[in-house]
Each structure stands twice: as C-alpha cells, then as structure tokens.
Structure 1
Amino acid sequence: MEREPENIPTNHEILRDFMLHMQLANRSENTLETYSRLLNRFLYHTSIPIHEMTSDYVWEWLKEHGRDKKETTVATWISILSSFFTFCDNEGYIEGIPMKSRWRPRLPKPLPRYIGKEELAIIKIQSEAGNLRNQVLFEFLSSSGCRITEALMLDKNDINVEERTARVKGKGSKLRTVHFSHRCAILLEEHLKRLPEMSDGIFLNQHKRKLTRQGAHKILREMGETAQLVGAFGPHRLRHTFATSLLAKGAELSFISEELGHSQLSTTRVYARLLDEKLVTMYRKYMG
C-alpha cells in the first residue's frame, strides 16, 4: 500500500534521519562532517524528491559537479551517495538504489607515504627549536602511531608516564592502549608540570582549550616546511612511518595492527606491500 503524498518525508527530513543513523553507528566526527557536507550539497542542487530520484539524474549530477575533481574525490562522493541511498532503500523511502557499480573509477591502490630515517632526524632536530607542546606532539605521534584525533582527545588521566602508555579512544569509540618512546616520556613529564590545573587536556592552544585538528596540522606542516621536507608533512604520514618502521624491524602484522587500532588485519597488510615495493627498488638499483 502506497503512502499518501502528505506523509512522505522531505529530502532534508530523510537526510536528518540518515545522519542520526550514522551517529548511532559511532561514525567519527570527521566522517559525519564529510557525509553531511556532500549530501547537503547534493540535495541543495535538486528539487526532485528522493523517492523520484533516477540513476540518470544522479549520474548527470556527478558528471557536472565532478568535472574538475580528482578521481579519488569522485569515488568518495559515489561511496557516500551509495551509503545514503542504501539507507533510503532499507528504510522504505525508495524502491531500488539509483546507483551503478560501473560508475566507480578503478583507482590504483596508493602506497602509504612514510618518512626516511634521515628526514625524520632532521624534523626531530627542528622540533627541538619549537615550544615544548609541539615537541611532545611530534614525539607522541611518531612513537605511538596514533591518529591525530586520538592524540588531541587525550586527558591527563589517560597518560601513564612511568609505564609509557596512553589510553586512547579510536574509531567507533573503541578504547585501546598505545605505547610511546622514552624520549617522549621525558618531554611529556615536563609538559604535564606546565599544564594549568583546571584543564584536563594534554595538547592545548593559547586559549587553554584542546588543540584542534586544523591547529595540529598547521604545527606539523610548518615543521616539515622548516625541515625542507619533500611533500606534505602531517600526522598521517607520521602514522605510516611508525608502521613501516615496525615492519622493517621485524614486528608481526598482528602486533602493528593492534598498535594502530585497525579493526581488520587486511588494512595493515598495505604496509607489507610497501616493504615489498622497497625491496624491488633496491634489487633494481644494485642488480639492474
């Protein structure tokens, strides 16, 4: 039995339901922001009710608005729209998903970009010229492999300097324990003494509030520029460096996966691929 027209929710009511669904699924703030931005943009440009949406319309929108975009960006858009329309189909807002699997561009799987020992040493020296907070941020990220959001959410009671461990909240609000270096522990101990008592956070901005992702990215970007590092330098590159270094030293993938907070071992296997690529390069360099 079909619903009466007046009982059909509007596009934005459906979008609100979808975003609530995403929140309840414990999706990260970054993911929620990305989904919301794209879907609001998509719905802003259409007056067609979602239950009347056709694959031709969606495809034309993707072609028009993705004309000057990278293939990786368009692939992300397709993934977001597919998730949204799958939700709509499951909830009975539409009959059938107006998306085609052939739309997805076949992208080469990129290898993680890591930093070599010499470059890392240069950046470490450069960081010593900065303030203590920035030194601790660099040391913590490079020796723990944490995501930047995990580090910035840390409170004082999450840190155990003696054990050199920290309790972080990862994706899906999953708690795990990470480890950090002896040098990081020394710097962190001094940093904790200087923090204001009324604040629980570890990495604070000038207003004594927790440092934002944008602020942390800026700090690391400036470190990379000062060290004249080739390519963009950010927290995820440090995370890749941490994982690659562990693998090169013989650590098992299962251990690296646990340290990084990967929910599936297959996500970690990309680093093994990277090491294989490096061995091939070395072979060609010396053997021809």
Structure 2
Amino acid sequence: MQDSINKYLSHIEQNRNFSAQTLRAYQNDLNQYLSFLITEGCRDFGNVTRVFLRRFLAFLKKQDYSKTTIARKLVSIRSLYKFLCREGILKFNPLENIRAPKRERKLPGFMSISEAETLLNLPGSNTLLGIRDRAIMETLYSTGMRVSELVGTDVTDIDFFNEVVKVKGKGKKERLQPIGNHALDAIRLYMDKRNSDSKALFLNNRGGRLTERSVARMLEKYVKKGGLSLNISPHTFRHSFATHLLDRGADLRSVQELLGHANLSTTQIYTHITTERLKQVYDKSHPRA
C-alpha cells in the first residue's frame, strides 16, 4: 500500500503543479489513512470497503478535526483511489458514494480602513527593517496577494513603469496584479536601502529570502505595538483588500481576478461580509428597523 501511495505522490508532484505545502498535506493525509487501515487489519487497498471508510470518518470526527479538514482529507484519499483505478491497480473505488461532510463557511476577519492605516504607519523609517516591514505590509494591502506569493516575489516581478507585479500563485499559475503608488514607493525606498543583489524582493537579516513564518512574526510585533486585534494575520490583509474593494463598488468578477480565485464561489464569501455590515448599519440607523 505504501508503494501505491508513493507512486501517486510522485505522479502529482510531477504532473499536477501542486505547491510544496499542498504536497505535504496530501502526504500527511494519505499516511494517516494508511496507518488507520493497518491498525484495522487491512493491508491491501483492494480489500477496503465502505465500512472501513465510515470507520475512518468516525475516527477523524473523534479526533476533533473540523469538517473542513475532514473534507480535505477525503479529497486526498478520493484522488488516490481515482489514480489507482486509472492505473488499473484497482477495479473499484470505495469512495464513490461516500459524501464529504458539508464544510463550515466562516466569514473571514478583516481590518477596518483606519486599522489598516494604523498598522501601515507603525514601522519606522530610520532603520532598514522598518523600511522593509512597511514595504511588506503596503504590498500585502495593495495587492491582496497571499503571504506565500509575497515571499516568492522577485525583484524582476515588479514593473514600476506599468504599476503591476507578477504574482506566482497556486498551482504555479501566474497573474499580473495592479499595485498602488504607496506600495511602489515603499518598495523603491527599500530596494534603494537594502544594498543586495539577491533576486528575492524581501530579505531576512542574513540576506536570504524571507519566509512566511517570518512575515507572520513580524506582523505580530506590530499588532501588539499598535494595540490592535490579536487575530490579525498576514491573510487578514487579503481579506481586508477584498472587502474594502467591494465596499467601494468593485464588481465581484474583478475582485475574483485580483485575488486569483479559480471559482467565483470562493470570492462570494466576501459579499456576505459586506451584506452583514449593511444589515448592522440598517438596524442601527433606520428608525423602523
């Protein structure tokens, strides 16, 4: 069974253009599934029945995994079985009639415009780190890019003349993203001061490419300094970017493209945020609400 999993993982690594993070998630999900089957006395994927799968779902639920995580694990396992059937290793997919639990759709948190401005103004301009941190936050807020996309940005991806940045998104898909003057000015100042020939745009103290975790730690520092909500993360900039665009009249399709979402349904969650806020304004302000 381990050989089949390894063969499948090799296949998706070479042919599916998954990110390293997604590949790790698939590997962890499938190894957990394999471990469960072995514990249950099953040592051949051909012997797996729907009973085994329902036991596995019950096991995950007992481990307190969220519905979203369970659904993701089922996607990994379902994909494995499709591959094994396609390769002729299996004749039957036991997952065909098993549905994933309905995912919980939590409304993403976002900053108000004043909170965003407060955070952007916190880094000092008298140190290289302060100049870098300001450029990072301005870029996150100006483009709505994911933190993984931010740390993967190279100097050559910034087009100052056309005011766009080449964003390398999920599945190695690239898109050209507009970027505002505040972010471009902050990036230009940082590049003038950093004194490095590295191709990476944002660097750590040792001159290497910045990591996602380093950006999160940097942000935590400023959130505490500004006395803001402790729930603000790098991804909060992305949520705030989308919400503020919709609040100012941007259409949903345009926001979808700016966020790099493959499906409009993923972007539609932001309309719930703006609708909820309108309801609050209505309830508070209308004399007969």
Q: How does the TM-score come out when normalised to structure 2?
A: 0.87
Q: How has the CA–CA distance of structure 1 residues 123 and 61 changed in structure 2, closer, same or farther, with 3 Å as cutoff?
A: same
- Residue type at the aligned position of 2:223: G
The Cα of 1:245 is off from its aligned counterpart by 0.8
Asked if the contact 1:221–1:232 (Cα under 8 Å) also holds between the matched residues in 2, the reply is no
Asked if the contact 1:164–1:180 (Cα under 8 Å) also holds between the matched residues in 2, the reply is yes
The Cα of 1:136 is off from its aligned counterpart by 0.9
Residue 4 (structure 1) aligns with: none
The CA RMSD measured in Å over matched residues stands at: 2.2
Q: How has the CA–CA distance of structure 1 residues 59 and 224 changed in structure 2, closer, same or farther, with 3 Å as cutoff?
A: farther
119-128 or 24-33, which moves further after superposition? 119-128
Residue by residue over 1:129-175, the C-alpha shift from the partner in whole angstroms, topping out at 9 and shown as x without a partner, is 76221111111001111111111111111112343321111122222
The Cα of 1:284 is off from its aligned counterpart by 1.8
Q: For 1:19, which of 1, 5, 9 is the aligned residue?
A: 9
Residue 5 (structure 1) aligns with: none
The Cα of 1:127 is off from its aligned counterpart by 3.2
Structure 2: state its 5+ residue gaps.
none
269-278 or 146-155, which moves further after superposition? 269-278
- Residue type at the aligned position of 1:49: D
- Residue type at the aligned position of 1:34: A
Residue 37 (structure 1) aligns with: 28
Equivalent-residue separation in structure 2 for 1:106 and 1:82 (angstroms) = 16
Residue 60 in 1 paired to residue 51 in 2?
A: no
Q: For 2:44, which of 49, 60, 65 is the aligned residue?
A: 49
SS at match of 2:53: helix
Residue 96 in 1 paired to residue 86 in 2?
A: no
Residue 78 in 1 paired to residue 74 in 2?
A: yes
Asked if the contact 1:145–1:242 (Cα under 8 Å) also holds between the matched residues in 2, the reply is yes
- Residue type at the aligned position of 2:12: M
Structure 1: state its 5+ residue gaps.
1-10
Residue by residue over 1:201-246, the C-alpha shift from the partner in whole angstroms, topping out at 9 and shown as x without a partner, is 1111122211112222222233323333335222221111111111
Equivalent-residue separation in structure 1 for 2:97 and 2:124 (angstroms) = 50
The Cα of 1:65 is off from its aligned counterpart by 4.1
- Residue type at the aligned position of 1:40: N
Q: How has the CA–CA distance of structure 1 residues 15 and 243 changed in structure 2, closer, same or farther, with 3 Å as cutoff?
A: same
SS at match of 2:5: helix
SS at match of 1:178: strand
The Cα of 1:200 is off from its aligned counterpart by 0.7
Q: How has the CA–CA distance of structure 1 residues 117 and 200 changed in structure 2, closer, same or farther, with 3 Å as cutoff?
A: same
Q: How has the CA–CA distance of structure 1 residues 120 and 197 changed in structure 2, closer, same or farther, with 3 Å as cutoff?
A: closer
Residue 225 (structure 1) aligns with: 224
Residue 173 (structure 1) aligns with: 172
Residue by residue over 1:24-65, the C-alpha shift from the partner in whole angstroms, topping out at 9 and shown as x without a partner, is 111222211111112122223433222222222232233224
Query: Map of 1:137-156 to 2, 5 A cutoff?
Result: 137-156=136-155
Equivalent-residue separation in structure 2 for 1:248 and 1:197 (angstroms) = 39
Q: How has the CA–CA distance of structure 1 residues 75 and 231 changed in structure 2, closer, same or farther, with 3 Å as cutoff?
A: farther
Asked if the contact 1:55–1:100 (Cα under 8 Å) also holds between the matched residues in 2, the reply is no
SS at match of 2:217: helix
- Residue type at the aligned position of 1:236: H
The Cα of 1:259 is off from its aligned counterpart by 1.4
- Residue type at the aligned position of 2:225: T
Equivalent-residue separation in structure 1 for 2:59 and 2:211 (angstroms) = 34
- Residue type at the aligned position of 2:2: H
Q: How does the TM-score come out when normalised to structure 1?
A: 0.87
Residue 261 (structure 1) aligns with: 260
Residue by residue over 1:169-192, the C-alpha shift from the partner in whole angstroms, topping out at 9 and shown as x without a partner, is 112222211122222112111111
Residue 131 (structure 2) aligns with: 132
Asked if the contact 1:243–1:271 (Cα under 8 Å) also holds between the matched residues in 2, the reply is yes
Asked if the contact 2:147–2:212 (Cα under 8 Å) also holds between the matched residues in 1, the reply is yes
Could you list the runs of 4 or more consecutive aligned residues of structure 1 that deviate by over 6 angstroms after TM superposition? none
Equivalent-residue separation in structure 1 for 2:227 and 2:97 (angstroms) = 42
Residue 241 in 1 paired to residue 232 in 2?
A: no
